């Protein structure tokens, strides 16, 4: 009888190398001669690249969309079905619950439990609570080598977290202060290829409020975010007012982007430029990722303050890419906030982070909520309820005619 194993790793461990060692070398078993696959966002990225290159798609989603046009959750579910149909002899699963709603998490857990009776499952988990119930052995990594945990509880990462002691910089400009509401949707309805996604959405975001946007996979959360951030052509002909300006009245996407700080866990994938940590933060003044313009003295001072808040002043000249994944996110949130925007959008900010980095990141988000008048809108499937405390939750509830929205006060 085979064993099912998990690696409980931190973001400082090199995941890609670990996967390679599991699949191609004999790290905890000899899988190199067996037919295996990787269930991971890494595989989804590869399939999307193939789709773009060859113009057809191999992985079918229930909505018959390409993976590129599917929601995060739809992509994961479609990938798992595709992999299972390949008669595998083992499966490596990475960040199994990331981007999935509660129902999809249960569904995938059940499918994997069933599969684990037939073939070995090797799980890679950053969060302790993600370790699947059927796992027999849990390994930690020490100097890249697996060490069986033997039932010894790993140290509680939450107790080691870093505290941000310095106060955040003051508002950079005050001409945005009078805008209210920041976002107003009046009966907004969106369909893709005649398939309704959201219906009659009425929603206002007032300055300084802290919102969580929730809803099952495919319910339209990213669609609403792109209607706000100016990237969705479906915003035209809708009754949407952004920062006091009615959509379609001649505003440019850049006018809107100026007033929004944006961070998504997906952003990190596209960054290859060698910017220093300081320059990466400064680039937020110009709405670019990476610095292409020379900041003013005032802007440099604000960047320095952010570096002190993050405890990175001494390493400000170091390459952004040399930082751990968790620290890169802190820098990108500082980049999003450096211009002190009226609205900060955080799309799945904790996806893929380890327990320790989640504590640090949520501490920074709470600090921004307390110390600034920036409204925050974050999307997360994770119930970081002990850590993040939004004032309101906007929930998308799927219906056959498109998701409807409702507001839940979080207190």
- Which chain residues interact with ligand ATP by CB under 6 A? 63, 65, 69-74, 99, 192-193, 197, 215, 217-223
Closest distance of CB 189 from ligand ATP, Å = 13
Query: Which token pair is 272?
Result: 């290859």
Pairwise CA distance, residues 91 & 410, whole Å? 39
Task: Count CA atoms within 13 Å of residue 21 on its CB side.
Answer: 14
Identify which of 162, 207, 183, 230 has the alpha carbon closest to the alpha carbon of residue 340: 207
Q: Which is nearer to ligand ATP, 11 or 265 (CB)?
A: 265
Q: Exposure pattern of 88-105 as b/e (b: 16+ CB <10 Å)?
A: bebbbbbbbbbbbbeebb
Which three-class secondary structure state does DSSP give residue 275?
A: coil
Identify which of 76, 345, 94 has the alpha carbon closest to the alpha carbon of residue 210: 345
User: Phi/psi zone of residue 226: left (φ > 0), alpha (ψ -120 to 50 degrees), beta?
Assistant: alpha
Closest distance of CB 266 from ligand ATP, Å = 10
Closest distance of CB 57 from ligand ATP, Å = 13
Q: Which is nearer to ligand ATP, 342 or 349 (CB)?
A: 349
Closest distance of CB 117 from ligand ATP, Å = 28
Instruction: State the sign of the Cα–Cα–Cα–Cα dihedral 371, 377, 380, 385.
Output: positive
Which residue reads 């073939």 in tokens?
119
Q: Which is nearer to ligand ATP, 36 or 405 (CB)?
A: 405
Give the relative orientation of helices 355-371 and 325-337 as an angle to the nearest 10 degrees: 10
Closest distance of CB 16 from ligand ATP, Å = 24
Closest distance of CB 282 from ligand ATP, Å = 31
The 8 Å CB, 24+ separation contacts for 286-293 are: 287/254, 287/257, 287/258, 289/335
Q: Which is nearer to ligand ATP, 277 or 379 (CB)?
A: 379
Q: Which is nearer to ligand ATP, 190 or 260 (CB)?
A: 190
Which three-class secondary structure state does DSSP give residue 152?
A: coil
Closest distance of CB 340 from ligand ATP, Å = 27
CB distance 76 to 44 below 8 Å: yes
Closest distance of CB 107 from ligand ATP, Å = 13
What letter would DSSP give residue 392?
A: E
Pairwise CA distance, residues 287 & 258, whole Å? 7
CB distance 300 to 282 below 8 Å: yes
Q: Which is nearer to ligand ATP, 205 or 282 (CB)?
A: 205
CB distance 199 to 238 below 8 Å: no
Q: Which is nearer to ligand ATP, 219 or 362 (CB)?
A: 219
DSSP 165-193: -SPPPPPS-STTTT---SEEEEEEEEEET
Closest distance of CB 265 from ligand ATP, Å = 11
Q: What angle do CA 359, 361, 364 make, to 5 degrees?
A: 110
Closest distance of CB 216 from ligand ATP, Å = 7
């Amino acid at each position: 009888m085979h064993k099912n194993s998990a690696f409980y790793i931190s973001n400082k461990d090199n995941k890609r190398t670990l996967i390679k060692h599991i699949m191609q070398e004999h790290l905890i078993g000899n899988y190199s001669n067996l037919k295996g696959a990787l269930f991971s966002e890494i595989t989804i990225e590869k399939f999307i690249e193939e789709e773009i290159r060859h113009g057809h798609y191999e992985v079918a989603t229930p909505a018959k969309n390409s993976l590129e046009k599917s929601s995060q959750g739809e992509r994961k579910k479609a990938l798992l079905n595709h992999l299972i149909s390949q008669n595998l002899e083992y499966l490596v699963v990475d960040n199994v619950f990331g981007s999935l709603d509660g129902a999809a998490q249960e569904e995938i857990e059940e499918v994997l439990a069933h599969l684990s009776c037939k073939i070995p499952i090797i799980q890679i988990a950053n969060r302790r609570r993600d370790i699947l119930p059927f796992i027999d052995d849990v390994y930690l990594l020490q100097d890249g080598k697996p060490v069986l945990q033997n039932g010894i509880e790993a140290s509680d990462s939450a107790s080691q977290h870093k505290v941000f002691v310095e106060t955040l910089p003051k508002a950079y400009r005050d001409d945005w202060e009078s805008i209210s509401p920041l976002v107003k949707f009046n009966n907004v309805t969106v369909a893709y290829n005649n398939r309704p996604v959201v219906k009659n959405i009425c929603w206002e975001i007032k300055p300084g409020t802290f919102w969580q946007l929730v809803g099952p996979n495919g319910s339209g959360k990213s669609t609403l975010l792109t209607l706000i951030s100016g990237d969705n052509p479906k915003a035209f002909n809708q009754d949407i007012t952004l920062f006091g300006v009615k959509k379609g009245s001649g505003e440019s996407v850049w006018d809107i982007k100026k007033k929004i700080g944006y961070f998504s866990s997906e952003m990190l994938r596209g960054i290859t430029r060698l910017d220093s940590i300081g320059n990466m933060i400064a680039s937020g003044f110009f709405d670019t990722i990476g610095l292409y313009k020379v900041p003013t003295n005032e802007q440099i001072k604000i960047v320095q303050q952010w570096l002190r808040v993050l405890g990175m002043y001494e390493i400000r000249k170091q390459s952004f890419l040399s930082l751990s994944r968790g620290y890169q996110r802190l820098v990108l949130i500082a980049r999003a906030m450096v211009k002190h925007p009226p609205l900060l959008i955080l799309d799945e900010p904790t996806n893929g982070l380890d327990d320790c980095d989640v504590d640090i990141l949520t501490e920074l988000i709470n600090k921004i909520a307390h110390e600034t008048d920036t409204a925050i809108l974050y999307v997360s499937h994770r119930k970081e309820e002990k850590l993040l405390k939004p004032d309101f939750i906007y929930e998308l509830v799927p219906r056959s005619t498109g998701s409807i929205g409702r507001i839940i006060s979080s207190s």
